[in-house]
Amino acid sequence: MTRYIFITGGVVSSLGKGLASAALGAVLQARGFKVRLRKLDPYLNVDPGTMNPYQHGEVYVTDDGAETDLDLGHYERFTGVAARQSDNVTSGRLYQRIIARERKGEYLGATVQVIPHVTDAIKGFVRADVEDRDFVLCEIGGTVGDIEGLPFVEAIRQLGNELGRDRALFVHLTLLPYIPSAGELKTKPTQHSVKELRGIGIQPDILLCRCDREIPANERSKIALFCNVRDEAVIPALDVDSIYEVPLRYHQAGLDRQILRAFGMSETPEPDLRVWEDIATRLTAPEGEVKIAVIGKYTGLKDAYKSLDEALVHGGIANRVDVDVEWIESETFARDGDLHHLEGVNGILVPGGFGERGIEGKIAAAGIARDRRIPYFGICLGMQMAVIETARNMAGLPGAGSSEFGECEDPVIGLMTEWEKDGRTEYRDETGDVGGTMRLGAYDCVISPTSKVFGIYGRERISERHRHRYEVNLAYENVLAKAGIVFPGKSPDGLLPEILEVPNHPWFIGVQFHPELKSKPFDPHPLFASFIKAAVAQSRLV
C-alpha cells in the first residue's frame, strides 16, 4: 500500500521545502521504506528548460531526458532514487495536455474547468507510476495562498479524502522569525499561514518550523493550539551548517516518529542513519582544504549551479577535505585579464552554459590551467572551451570556435544533426524549438582502457546525463591529438566525443555530459572525487 505525504510551504518562499522533502525521504528510507519524491510546480512554463537560471536556478536533467526543477536534484542526492519525467509537472504541461485533449473532442462536449478537469489531471499525475513504493512524498511548489497554486492545493485536498486518513498526510513548512527588538520568536505568521491552508480545506498534520534558534516549549504549545495540531507535531527545523545534517536533525526532532504515528504505523525499529552520521563527521571535521575556482556565467546565484556545488562538496567528502569554492564571473575574468583571481587555486572548473557571453574568460581559464598544470575540469561548455583554446593556441587554428556563436573559420565545435540511440537514429536541426532540440538525458559512453578516465571510472561502459546541442567536431580529431588533446570516451557508435583528456597534464579532463547530476554525498561521483584528489595533490606542491 502506498502512502502519500504532501508537503506545502507557507509564510515566505525559499524555506527549503525541496530539501525538507528530500531529507524526510532519506529518514524514511533509513527505516527501510521505499520512497519516491515528486514536485508539482504551479508556474505556466511547460518545463524549466527554457527559463533563465537566474529566474529558476539550475535545470535538473533526468535519465529519461526530462528538464526538471532543481528540487528533483535534492531528492536524488538524498535518496539515491533516480528521478524521472513522471516526478515533476507544471501547470503549463497540465494545461497543454488538457487543451490538446479538448481540441480532439475527448471531453465529449463538456465544459472544461479547473475543477474537475485540472484537479483530476493533477491527481492522476500524483498517483501515476508509483509502483511498489511505501511512500510518495509530493511537494507543492510556491507558497500557500498563491493564486496559481490553488488548483494544486485543491487537488491534494481531494486526494486526502479519496485516500483516507491512513494513506494521506499533510506536512506544512513554515517560518518562525525572531524579532530582536522584542527578543521573541513570532508565531503569528505560522498561524496565518495555517489559517490560509485550512481556509482552502487542508488541516496540516505536522508543522515543520524553520527557525534560527531553539523553539521554547511554550511557543510550540501555542502554535499547536492555534493551528489545531498536537504539541509533538510541531517539529523544529533549525538552521544547520550543512544540508546533509538535516536527516539526522529531523530524526532527533521526532519528524519520522510523528509521521508514522499519524499513519498509525509502528514507530520501531529506529532508523539506521549511520551513512548520514559518517557524512556529517567528514563535513564537520575535514582533514584539509582545497580551493577550487569555478569560472561561470551565473555565479551571482548559487542555485544556478546547485548540483555542481553539491558534487564538489561530495568530492570533498570522498577525500575528507573542505572544498572552498571561489565563484568567478567569467566576463569579469576576461575583462580583467589578470590572474589574481586564480592565486592559490588548486583546481579550475568550467561548468556548462549556453550562449556567447563570457566565453573568452572560460577559454582563458582553460589555457591557464594547461600552462600552469593546475587540475582542470571542463563540463559540457567547459569541455568545448578547452577544445577551442587548444585549437587556437596549440594547433595553429586562431579562427577556431563553436558554431553556437556564429560562423567561424574552424568550427571545432559544431552541431551534430543525427546520432544513434538504442538502435534508433535521432535527429535535430538548427531551426527546431529551443525547448526541444537538445541531446537530453542518459546516453552510454565507451571508455578506452588505456586512458586516465578509465582508471577513474574503473569501467569501460558508463552512462551519463546530457543537455546540449553542440559537439566536438571529430574532423579535427587528428589536429587536436597533435596539439595534446585526446578523446578516450565516445558514444558507442564512435560518432560523438564524450570525454577529452590531456595525457601530458596532472589532471585535465573535459566531459560533454553532466556528471554533477548523478553525484551523491554517500556515493560521490568518481570524476569529482578524482578531481578533488588531484587538487589535494596540487595543494601539496605549492
Site residues (vs ligand GLN, CB under 6 A): 352-354, 380-381, 404, 467-470
CA dihedral 77, 445, 479, 427 (to 10 degrees): -100
Does residue 516 carry a catalytic annotation?
yes
Residue with cell 601530458: 504
Catalytic site residue from 251, 466, 514, 525: 514
For the sheet with 168-175, list strands across it: 88-90, 35-41, 135-140, 3-9, 168-175, 206-211, 234-238
Does residue 514 carry a catalytic annotation?
yes
CA-nearest of 400, 426, 416 to 470 is 416
Q: How far is the CB of 314 from ligand GLN (least distance, A)?
A: 20
State the Cα–Cα distance between residues 323 and 289, nearest whole angstrom. Answer: 6
CA atoms 21, 25, 27, 31: torsion sign = positive
CA 387 to chain centre: 27
Q: How far is the CB of 140 from ligand GLN (least distance, A)?
A: 29
* CA-atom Rg of the chain in angstroms: 25
Residue 65 or 352: which CB sits closer to ligand GLN?
352
Does residue 74 carry a catalytic annotation?
no
- Is there a contact between 5 and 259 (Cβ–Cβ < 8 Å)? yes
Name the burial class of residue 327, with classes exposed (0-12), middle (13-18) and buried (19+) by CB atoms within 10 angstroms of its CB: middle
- Which amino acid is it at 426? E
Residue 153 or 359: which CB sits closer to ligand GLN?
359
Residue 47 or 219: which CB sits closer to ligand GLN?
47
Beta strands in 183-275 (DSSP E): 184-185, 206-211, 234-238
Catalytic site residue from 380, 389, 498, 505: 380
State the Cα–Cα distance between residues 61 and 84, nearest whole angstrom. Answer: 9
Residue 16 or 353: which CB sits closer to ligand GLN?
353
Q: How far is the CB of 67 from ligand GLN (least distance, A)?
A: 11
Residue 157 or 468: which CB sits closer to ligand GLN?
468
Residue 469 or 520: which CB sits closer to ligand GLN?
469
- 3-state class of 12 per DSSP? coil
Q: How far is the CB of 388 from ligand GLN (least distance, A)?
A: 12
Residue 129 or 329: which CB sits closer to ligand GLN?
329
- 3-state class of 169 per DSSP? strand
Name the burial class of residue 239, with classes exposed (0-12), middle (13-18) and buried (19+) by CB atoms within 10 angstroms of its CB: exposed
Q: How far is the CB of 470 from ligand GLN (least distance, A)?
A: 3
CA-nearest of 511, 457, 503 to 481 is 503
- Which amino acid is it at 205? D
Q: Between the CA of residue 309 and those of 157, 316, 330, 351, 384, what are the distances in Å?
A: 36, 11, 17, 10, 21
Q: Which helix (H) or strand (E) holds 472?
A: strand 470-472
Residue 72 or 413: which CB sits closer to ligand GLN?
413
Positions annotated as catalytic residues are: 380, 514, 516
